[in-house]
Structure 1
Amino acid sequence: MIRYSTAETLPALLADMSSLGDHPAVVDGDERVGYRELETRVHEASRAYLAAGVRRGDRVAVWAPNRLGFILAMLGAEAIGAAVVPLNTRYTGHEAAGILARSRACVLVLADGFLDRSFSRMLCDAAAELEDADGAGEGGAVPGLPHLRLLVGLDSRPVGDAALDWESFLATGRSVDDATLASALGAVDRDDVIDILYTSGTTGVPKGVMSAHRQTLGVARAWAKGAELSTEDRYAIVNPFFHGFGYKAGMIAALVAGSTIYPLPVLDADALLELIQRERITVLPGVPTIFTTLIDHPRLKEYDLSSLRFSIAGATAAPATLFRDMVGILGFQRVAQAYGLTECVVATMSRQGESLDHAQQTTGPAIEGMEIRVVDEEGNDVPTGSDGEILLRGEQVMLGYFEDPEATSAVIDEDGWFHTGDIGQLDEHGCLKITDRLKDMFIVGGFNVYPAEVENVLRKHPAVNESAVIGVPDRRLGTVGRAYVALLSDLDHRPDAAELTAFCRERLANFKVPHDFVFVDDFPRNATGKILKTELRVA
């Protein structure tokens, strides 16, 4: 059945979809939760937040991997009008403390022990240094973070002065009566802030991107429609819930359509292949690394993957043959692309019925309610097929950066256009092709070089799996290109730098050809699979 909820607040969405009764909403290992039960369990969490003094407009942070507990912790806060601040599970204690301080989150729900790390101990140690350095006040659950009143551990009691395990936390909510809960649920407005997603921080201090309930649900609905999600779909979500890809295009999109969520905390190829076969998974989006890992799996042919229906291979550049391999080897019926940023999680998406080749080359046209322009340095629209900066305007563009009007006005102009900093072009169908990031551009002898263009050429070499091009200082030209290259495994012939140089010279102007090549086994990446070029630049 295909039916997309038109709810514009999170509590209204849960109430709407509870009509699906026992239809599974979340399957996490041996635990299966139906849609009616999901609403009940979310409300249990909401009561506990209310008992802890959380009110509409407060911030609640969640620091955990993909799992049922994350879903309950997030939705329970959002259902009573609190804004959720998800924390990257790869954060250090210092990074988490910094975001908790900036957001002034009053409650933190975390999963101690994930990846063999105690999040609460890391946080307490880092916050103690913050207190010493900044003279931050006392009185919170963690000295140095005075606004943080409570730590809640999903599996055990965290380290901290005011801490509870999840079951004890839920028990506190039994003191909250039905009328108080109903009042809190009913007070949530479509324009209330539902989440604050902090940018990756690869270009400086992370900024908190605010979205309203109507926006997060609108993004999810647009993605669900583009993917043709239905109640028959079983959606394996490897993309982390702390990121818009796993959260809005994942968790919330599935709930909007009544699909079943299968949360996966880490990418384990064996476990994922077994899950696809056992549960007949139909939807599996992700970064290209996920699919190349499955394609290269030595026992791939032993698994039945015939249930796979839809995927988006997004968030980073894909190998030239990936889409065809996803169809021909993994068996997906449809593979698409989408384009978005933290500030606008879904802006474009491949059209239904799109050819495979065109879907790989472009990210599709603007979704409903969004506009796109591609402009030159003076802000003038460039011709079709020409490069320029991508501007977005519409319903899904962020409200702004949390308590940072200066940074907000720097990227959203007076006419409401969000300046993405991405370089791209529109084709004759209005479909967007991403060319590069403005920040990654470097100048060789006075000529602009966009790394993605060079990377796209390298990807065409039959031995190259992935590459990352950066600019490095050069005494004569100011800057020259350096290419970090990962080759395919099991090659009969491994090219050297001279061969790749000759290959590039055949396809690129001389100033675009990398000055040197560094061969690597893999790249530094963030938790969503993106290559961290900032780390390559300091290597």
Structure 2
Amino acid sequence: MCSTNSIVHGLPYPIPPSCSIPQLLGQQVSLFSDREALVLFRGATRLTYRELDKRSHIVARSLLSLQIAKNDKVGIFMGNCETYAEMFLGIVRIGAVAVLLNGTYTAHEAIKALRVTVENDSSSKWLSESYNCFLLRADTVDYSQLMRAEKNTTKDSLCCFLLTSGTTGSPKVAMLSHNGPRDSVDRKRYYLLSFPLFHCGGLVLGLIACLSHGSCVVFPSTIFNATAVSQCLAAEGCTGIVGSPTMFSLVLKARNLGAQNLCPARLRTGLIGGSSYSKSLWHNIREEFGAENLVHAYGKWSLSHHRLDDAFD
């Protein structure tokens, strides 16, 4: 006779109410202003919620100085780092749309992707100055102008364009609203993000999920590096990890090769997504990291809709 429970209880705290991403960040600043929100491993960058919020304000005002307005598209083409996060948050703060370009694109692929997202090439602007010079532009924009832009940004405003495929054919664009990229993670935990931020798994299950619940997202490196992930897990005391089966396999291999120099890493939870995986991999992850709350995410990644399941008991 089946003993499966007919009622399953979710998290012991409510999912955050629908709101725009800048509103969400503002709420978290009021609750956890001095809690770490973002860490770049070995990059000397540790940002609290207050600091990340402040930096996104500066980016937003700098964008306004360039006449960037609601629904304008702004491309981001870089690896996982604090600059990526603050640029994304600054873009969506004023109602503009972040176009998340695949960091592995060749020049030809990047141009092809931009042509898909830009309606009029003649109106496009290229940021040719250094990032520090760009940030200095914020001093030319009054806060009242930023407040007006934020007021016009709602939960239903477009948030970002996720580009799928495009290697052999034309890239396809998935459009997400501010209310779309939201997920649940446990509070007061450090989540190591292996996925790139241009991927839905990196943006939704990583950055936005952590911001939604006052957790900290940890970038082990700008691009995936199994050794860096392995070292970062223990050094930062990460309690969760998000990645694909291939990433987990490479991390396990890296830990086995450098076992004598690595501190134990114990995880409370982990999430595998992006492709199928073997039962042996699942058990190896649990054995190495002690992650009992290991779940599998699958579904329409580019639409930020997915399901979390326990796979092997």
| TM-score with structure 2 setting the length | 0.89
Instruction: Quote the residue 1:23 is aligned against.
Output: 35
Q: What letter matches 1:293 in structure 2?
A: L
Q: Measure how far apart 1:8 and its partner are.
A: 1.6
Q: What letter matches 2:132 in structure 1?
A: E
Runs of 5+ unmatched residues, structure 1 = 106-136, 138-144, 152-162, 359-539
Q: Measure how far apart 1:280 and its partner are.
A: 0.5
Are 1:240 and 2:196 matched, yes or no?
yes
Instruction: Quote the residue 1:437 is aligned against.
Output: none
CA RMSD of aligned residues (A): 2.0
Q: Which of residues 89, 99, 109 in structure 1 aligns to 2:103?
A: 89
Matches within 5 A, 1:468-479: none
Q: Which of residues 139, 160, 163 in structure 2 aligns to 1:198?
A: 163
| Cα separation, 2, equivalents of 1:170 and 1:341 | 36
Q: Which of residues 284, 302, 311 in structure 2 aligns to 1:325?
A: 284
Matches within 5 A, 1:155-234: 163-201=128-166, 204-216=169-181, 220-221=182-183, 224=184, 228-231=185-188, 233-234=189-190
| Cα separation, 2, equivalents of 1:346 and 1:230 | 21
Q: What letter matches 2:90 in structure 1?
A: G
More helix by share: 2
* Local SS of the residue matching 1:261: strand
Output one character per residue of 1:434-490: Cα deviation in whole Å (capped at 9) or x when no partner: xxxxxxxxxxxxxxxxxxxxxxxxxxxxxxxxxxxxxxxxxxxxxxxxxxxxxxxxx
* Local SS of the residue matching 1:307: coil
Aligned partners of 1:7 and 1:16 also within 8 Å: no
Output one character per residue of 1:68-124: Cα deviation in whole Å (capped at 9) or x when no partner: 00001111000110011010111011111112122118xxxxxxxxxxxxxxxxxxx
| Cα separation, 1, equivalents of 2:270 and 2:202 | 13
Output one character per residue of 1:22-61: Cα deviation in whole Å (capped at 9) or x when no partner: 1001112211111011111101000001000000111110
Matches within 5 A, 1:128-167: 145-151=121-127, 163-167=128-132
Instruction: Quote the residue 2:6 is aligned against.
Output: none
Instruction: Quote the residue 1:357 is aligned against.
Output: 312
Aligned partners of 2:174 and 2:303 also within 8 Å: no
Higher Rg of the two aligned structures: 1
Q: What letter matches 1:357 in structure 2?
A: F
Matches within 5 A, 1:254-293: 254-263=210-219, 264-293=221-250
Q: Measure how far apart 1:346 and its partner are.
A: 2.8
| Cα separation, 2, equivalents of 1:306 and 1:25 | 21
Q: What letter matches 2:312 in structure 1?
A: D
Aligned partners of 2:175 and 2:303 also within 8 Å: no
| Cα separation, 2, equivalents of 1:307 and 1:329 | 8
| Cα separation, 1, equivalents of 2:14 and 2:123 | 41
Aligned partners of 1:295 and 1:330 also within 8 Å: no
| Cα separation, 1, equivalents of 2:17 and 2:144 | 25
* Local SS of the residue matching 2:191: strand
Instruction: Quote the residue 2:112 is aligned against.
Output: 98
Instruction: Quote the residue 2:84 is aligned against.
Output: 70
Aligned partners of 1:51 and 1:175 also within 8 Å: yes
Q: Measure how far apart 1:202 and its partner are.
A: 5.4
Aligned partners of 2:99 and 2:160 also within 8 Å: yes
Instruction: Quote the residue 2:307 is aligned against.
Output: 348
Q: What letter matches 1:321 in structure 2?
A: S
Aligned partners of 1:197 and 1:209 also within 8 Å: yes
Q: Measure how far apart 1:343 and its partner are.
A: 3.9
Output one character per residue of 1:203-230: Cα deviation in whole Å (capped at 9) or x when no partner: 73112111111112xxx23xx1xxx421
| Cα separation, 1, equivalents of 2:194 and 2:161 | 21
| Cα separation, 1, equivalents of 2:230 and 2:54 | 32
| Cα separation, 2, equivalents of 1:294 and 1:308 | 14
Q: Measure how far apart 1:344 and its partner are.
A: 2.4
| Cα separation, 2, equivalents of 1:333 and 1:237 | 19
| Cα separation, 1, equivalents of 2:126 and 2:90 | 15
Q: Measure how far apart 1:345 and its partner are.
A: 2.4
Instruction: Quote the residue 1:517 is aligned against.
Output: none
Instruction: Quote the residue 1:466 is aligned against.
Output: none
Instruction: Tell me whether 201-210 or 180-189 shows the greater mean CA deviation.
Output: 201-210
* Local SS of the residue matching 1:205: coil
Percent identity reads 27
Aligned partners of 2:267 and 2:290 also within 8 Å: yes
| Cα separation, 2, equivalents of 1:329 and 1:253 | 25
- After superposing on structure 2, the runs of 4+ consecutive aligned residues of structure 1 that deviate more than 6 Å are none
Q: What letter matches 1:46 in structure 2?
A: A
Q: What letter matches 1:310 in structure 2?
A: T
